[in-house]
Amino acid sequence: MAGHSKWANIKRQKARVDAVKGKTFARISRAIIVAARNGIPDPEGNFQLRTAIEKAKAAGIPNDNIERAIAKGAGTLGSANELEDIRYEGYGPGGVAVLIEALTDNRNRTAADLRSAFSKNGGNLGETGCVSWMFAQKGVVSLRNITDEDALLEASLEGGAESYELMEVDETPGAEVLTDAAGLETLNQALQERGYDISDAELRWIPENTLEVADPDQARSLLKLMDALEDLDDVQTVTANFDMAEDLMALSMG
């Protein structure tokens, strides 16, 4: 998980910058619309919607915008049926596997944008199924202010977790706790009841195996590709199976 966790931390930092530019607003609003459409439009009974709303509030999205997105998803404020979830797959420089989740109202436009981003940065968009077998979808709960690892282990096991990794979360000593996708709500609730400071709870694609990237040119191209994909309006998440030393990652992003 090491490389993926590093990238997850970088994405969280980027999200704060993107929020200023309004990019995160649009992305989270679409997630709220889809969550409300796929389940009941009540956060109390819809965990996906509840977590999307929590992310919206953390990003500073006004309540009016949140309510409007819920109404769109529920079909009471215009139609949101044109938005669809699509997963795209491809290869980055050096054969790194890349998995992309998008929400789009025009799959041809999205595919063209993704194809362009890949080709300009040393990769290529592949067929459905070409890399998804290398990833497993997991529930991930991110925790801040972790001081007692033994207590964390006990609480994680009680919540049905499969594993955890100590890491910095929002610039505090924290952890990411993993469970199977179906167990995310149970784990989140168990950790909440234990009083843990939860930063995020989400479904995330985790690579089963990672490729070590050590060449500076390849690292630079790969991170440029990840940025280009993240910057596309229709893209919700980008996951890749690379691992990279911290200093090389910092150098390549400079």
**In sequence order, which residues have a C-beta less than 8 Å from that of residue 190 and are 6 or more positions away?**
155, 158, 159, 160
Q: How confident is the model at residue 16, as a pLDDT?
A: 47
- For 28-58, write each residue's pLDDT tens digit: 888 888 888 877 888 888 888 888 898 888 8
The pLDDT assigned to 3 comes to 42
DSSP string, the chain: -HHHHHHHHHHHHHHHHHHHHTHHHHHHHHHHHHHHHHS-S-GGG-HHHHHHHHHHHHTT--HHHHHHHHHHHHTSSS--TT-EEEEEEEE-GGG-EEEEEEEES-HHHHHHHHHHHHHHTT-EE--TTSSGGGEEEEEEEEEE----HHHHHHHHHHTT-SEEEEEEETTEEEEEEEEEGGGHHHHHHHHHHTT-EEEEEEEEEEESS-EEE--HHHHHHHHHHHHHHHTSTTEEEEEE-EEE-HHHHHHHH-
Closest CA to 97 of 3, 198, 194: 3
Which pLDDT band, with edges at 50, 70 and 90, does 195 fall under? very high
Work out the mean pLDDT of the chain and round it to a whole number.
85
Amino acid letter, 36: A
pLDDT at 193: 93
Q: What is the pLDDT of residues 71-128, one digit of tens each?
A: 888 877 665 557 788 999 999 999 999 999 998 888 999 999 999 999 999 999 999 9
224 φ/ψ angles, rounded to the nearest 5 degrees: -65, -40
pLDDT at 42: 85
What number is the average pLDDT over the span 230-250? 84
Q: What mean pLDDT is predicted for residues 212-238?
A: 88
Per-residue pLDDT, 81: 53
Q: What is the pLDDT of residue 183?
A: 94
Q: What are the phi and psi torsion angles at 99 (to 5°)? A: -120, 130
One-letter identity of residue 236 = Q
| Tens-digit pLDDT profile for residues 83-96 | 788 999 999 999 99
**What domains does the chain contain, in order, with CATH numbers?**
2-74 (1.10.10.200), 84-133+209-253 (3.30.70.980), 135-207 (3.30.70.980)
Alpha carbon distance 249, 53 (integer Å): 32
Per-residue pLDDT for 158 more than 90?
A: yes
pLDDT at 7: 54
